[in-house]
Amino acid sequence: MKLGVLFSGGKDSVYSTYLARKEGHEIACLISIFSENKESYMFHTPNIKMVKIQSEVMDIPLIIGESKGEKEKELKDLENAIHEAKNKYKIEGILTGAIKSVYQASRIQEICSKLELECFNPLWQKDEFDYLNELLENNFKVIVVGVFAYPLDEKWLFREINEGFIKDILKLNKKYKIHPAGEGGEYETFVVSCPLYKRGLKIIDKKIVKEGENSFRGELFIE
């Protein structure tokens, strides 16, 4: 099936793309929303503009939609971008990286139903620790680019998801109920390299921006 991917550049959307392609689906385009609201209910925002480079190294065209990030109103912005993808690339379905967010999954399903598109969520209800280990097994290099929940702090920024990370996040899950895959918005990620890329991305600079007591973003400069 010809699919458009709701794409943020983080591990969930990239790994979903990888799984869909392995299953034989055609990835016709990536769809990214640039939201002005850093606390958007729907959209990943850290380093979102880096999706342009990811699109290039994946050799998949990119559709960019813009949104002020107002709750519920941002759904219309998403619908417009998906509608553009349907018209331009003749997609038959939408692929998401949703794991357990009913809020996101249900609203995307509504848009797909309205536009007569299938909706695929290959990570839905997947065990979080199995998922993180699969990333390692399939040669995904993923780093943390945002932390937004206690006790995560700036020391977690730019950490690579590896065996040590998984052990540490397991401890936080047991003690603080931190979602291991960051599905509750506890942390955000960026995929530096994976089997879908023609080449790995090179981080040439980075900086930390503090936004709140337990809110830190890592800005990447990539080539």
Q: For residues 114 and 133, state if they share a domain.
A: no
CA distance 83 to 68: 19
Query: Within a 13 Å sphere around the CA of 116, how many CA atoms are in the beta-carbon half?
Result: 3
Q: For residues 46 and 65, state if they share a domain.
A: yes
Q: For residues 88 and 181, state if they share a domain.
A: no
Where a domain ends, among 100, 120, 140?
120
Q: For residues 11 and 95, state if they share a domain.
A: yes
| Structural domain span for residue 202 | 128-222
- Give the DSSP H or E segment for 22: helix 11-22
Q: For residues 62 and 146, state if they share a domain.
A: no
Instruction: Give the pLDDT confidence score for residue 107 in this predicted structure.
Output: 92
CA distance 204 to 66: 27
Instruction: Give the pLDDT confidence score for residue 165 in this predicted structure.
Output: 98
Where a domain ends, among 67, 97, 120?
120
- Give the DSSP H or E segment for 60: none
Task: Name the nearest CA neighbour of 30 among 62, 66, 2, 53.
Answer: 62
Q: For residues 114 and 26, state if they share a domain.
A: yes
Q: For residues 190 and 148, state if they share a domain.
A: yes
Instruction: Provide the domain count of the chain.
Output: 2
Instruction: Give the pLDDT confidence score for residue 36 in this predicted structure.
Output: 81
DSSP string of 116-143?
T-EEE-TTTT--HHHHHHHHHHTT-EEE
| Coil, helix or strand at residue 6 | strand
CA distance 54 to 60: 9
Q: For residues 103 and 8, state if they share a domain.
A: yes
Per-residue exposure over 191-212, b if at least 16 CB sit within 10 Å of its own CB, e if not: bbebebbeeebeeeeeeeeeee
Q: For residues 27 and 84, state if they share a domain.
A: yes
Instruction: Give the pLDDT confidence score for residue 39 in this predicted structure.
Output: 65
Instruction: CATH number of the domain at 157, please.
Output: 3.90.1490.10
Where a domain ends, among 120, 155, 186?
120
Q: For residues 22 and 106, state if they share a domain.
A: yes
Omega into 151 within 30° of 0, i.e. cis? Answer: yes
Q: For residues 80 and 169, state if they share a domain.
A: no
pTM of the model: 0.94
pLDDT in tens, the chain (223 residues): 999 999 999 999 999 999 999 999 999 999 999 988 776 656 766 788 999 999 999 999 999 999 987 777 889 999 999 999 999 999 999 999 999 888 888 999 999 999 999 999 999 999 999 999 999 999 999 999 999 999 999 999 999 999 999 999 999 999 999 999 998 889 999 999 999 999 999 999 999 999 888 899 999 999 8
CA distance 119 to 94: 5
Instruction: Give the pLDDT confidence score for residue 40 in this predicted structure.
Output: 66
Instruction: Give the pLDDT confidence score for residue 42 in this predicted structure.
Output: 65
Cβ proximity of 122 and 21 under 8 Å: no
Q: For residues 112 and 24, state if they share a domain.
A: yes
